[in-house]
């Protein structure tokens, strides 16, 4: 019987040499080895993010969060604000589509990043700023601030702030000409003589009331008038975890503490810390610009360094600089050092030995 079985196995192996495989018995140690199933393991480095969020979902959620500030801008400044917002958003989207076509890339208009850039840029502009200037700023934001670096995820600086800095250098007079809201309180005041609360205190030592800062009965950029509207959108982003809470907390907390020290030393010379928080574009920058995922650090320690550094720069520029506002420059300067922050705050790999 043994000879017959051996002969049969040899014949079958000659006919089908590929099917002839040794069969491991129960006593064979190979039977205890791991057998790969239908779902193989994927080995990759961290971080391992398990989430249903996508780039378009996050971007359009940010647009939704900006809805209260946008609505208040239109309510306070009327049709000029609406036309500026629509023009900047449309110019940003058209610029992105055109550059996608020139670069031979798929259209990225649907992801919402271009719409956010145009909307944020519009909210940082004065109500009386020319429409043509808004178009120029939007094109610059997309072309130079975003696409020249390779598109979404590769830009070093916040595109909207970079566009505003470009407009500040090109149109300094128009960028510092403010108008008051279209409400009964300012019905008899000339629009040309308007000033922001920061400018009024810096040059005339006039302190604006907290109620006006919260509601929006002040002069300023389209998106910085109502502190309540900006905070509602910012808290929505934090609740959805689309923004790192460390950045606004560290940014605003640093401004509050640092400016409070100067206020305690000379209250007649320096404004109180609450005034700093509610005035200017601090809240808009803290919640919507400093928290940009691309241009902010990715480590926990790095976000604190980024936020504290930005808040310190704001106070220094506001109190000792030639301009009453410093949010734009503080965020752009911290964007420039973000790669270094990521490098020196990178956590060590398990088992890594320092060279």
Q: pLDDT band at 30, cuts 50/70/90?
A: low
The H-assigned helical ranges of 78-209 are 79-103, 113-123, 131-143, 159-170, 197-204
226: tokens are 């109502």
Is 320 inside any structural domain? yes
Is 68 inside any structural domain? yes
Is 204 inside any structural domain? yes
Q: Other CB atoms closer than 10 Å to residue 235's CB: what's the count?
A: 14
Asked if residues 69 and 223 have their Cβ atoms less than 8 Å apart, the reply is: yes
Which residue in the block uniquely carries the two structure tokens 């810096």? Answer: 202
pLDDT of 247 strictly over 90 = yes
Is 355 inside any structural domain? no
Instruction: Say what the pTM is.
Output: 0.81
Q: pLDDT band at 235, cuts 50/70/90?
A: very high
What's the CATH code of the domain at 186?
A: 1.10.3430
Is 188 inside any structural domain? yes
- pLDDT single digits (tens) 92-105: 999 999 999 998 88
pLDDT at 195: 72
Note down the domain range covering 94.
55-344
Outline where DSSP puts E strands in the chain: none
pLDDT of 33 strictly over 50 = yes
Q: pLDDT band at 212, cuts 50/70/90?
A: confident
pLDDT at 50: 65
d(CA 263, CA 256): 10
Q: Report the mean per-residue pLDDT for the chain.
A: 84
| Least confident span in 11-25, 202-216, 242-256, 285-299 | 11-25
Is 265 inside any structural domain? yes
pLDDT of 28 strictly over 80 = no
Distance of CA 333 to the CA centre of its chain: 14
Per-residue buried b or exposed e for 325-341, using 16+ beta carbons within 10 Å of the residue's own CB: bbbbbbbbebbeebeeb
Number of separate domains in the chain: 1
Asked if residues 107 and 97 have their Cβ atoms less than 8 Å apart, the reply is: yes
d(CA 311, CA 273): 12
Asked if residues 160 and 139 have their Cβ atoms less than 8 Å apart, the reply is: no
Is 301 inside any structural domain? yes
Higher pLDDT, 293 or 194: 293
Is 258 inside any structural domain? yes
């Amino acid at each position: 019987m043994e000879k017959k079985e051996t002969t049969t196995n040899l014949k079958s192996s000659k006919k089908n040499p590929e099917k002839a495989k040794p069969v491991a018995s129960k006593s064979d140690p190979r039977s205890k080895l791991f057998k790969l199933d239908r779902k193989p393991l994927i080995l990759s480095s961290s971080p391992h993010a398990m989430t249903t969020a996508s780039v378009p979902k996050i971007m359009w959620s940010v647009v939704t969060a900006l809805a209260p500030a946008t609505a208040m801008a239109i309510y306070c400044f009327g049709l000029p604000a609406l036309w500026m917002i629509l023009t900047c958003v449309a110019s940003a989207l058209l610029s992105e589509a055109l550059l996608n076509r020139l670069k031979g890339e798929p259209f990225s208009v649907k992801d919402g990043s271009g719409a956010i850039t145009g909307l944020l840029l519009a909210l940082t502009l004065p109500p009386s700023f020319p429409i043509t200037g808004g178009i120029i700023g939007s094109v610059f934001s997309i072309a130079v601030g975003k696409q020249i670096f390779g598109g979404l995820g590769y830009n070093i600086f916040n595109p909207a702030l970079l566009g505003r800095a470009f407009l500040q250098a090109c149109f300094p007079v128009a960028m510092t000409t403010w108008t008051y809201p279209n409400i009964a309180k300012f019905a008899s005041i000339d629009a040309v003589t308007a000033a922001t609360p920061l400018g009024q205190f810096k040059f005339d030592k006039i302190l604006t009331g907290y109620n006006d800062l919260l509601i929006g009965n002040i002069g300023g950029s389209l998106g910085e008038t109502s502190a309540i509207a900006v905070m509602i959108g910012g808290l929505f982003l934090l609740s959805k975890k689309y923004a790192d809470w460390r950045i606004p907390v560290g940014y605003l907390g640093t401004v509050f503490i640092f400016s409070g020290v100067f206020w305690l030393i000379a209250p007649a010379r320096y404004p109180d810390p609450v005034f700093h928080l509610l005035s200017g574009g601090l809240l808009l920058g803290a919640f919507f610009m400093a928290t940009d995922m691309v241009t902010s650090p990715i480590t926990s320690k790095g976000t604190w360094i980024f936020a504290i550094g930005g808040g310190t720069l704001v106070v220094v520029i506001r109190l000792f600089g030639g301009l009453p506002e410093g949010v734009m420059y503080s965020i752009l300067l911290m964007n420039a050092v973000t790669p270094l922050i990521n490098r020196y705050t990178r956590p060590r790999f398990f088992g890594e030995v320092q060279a």
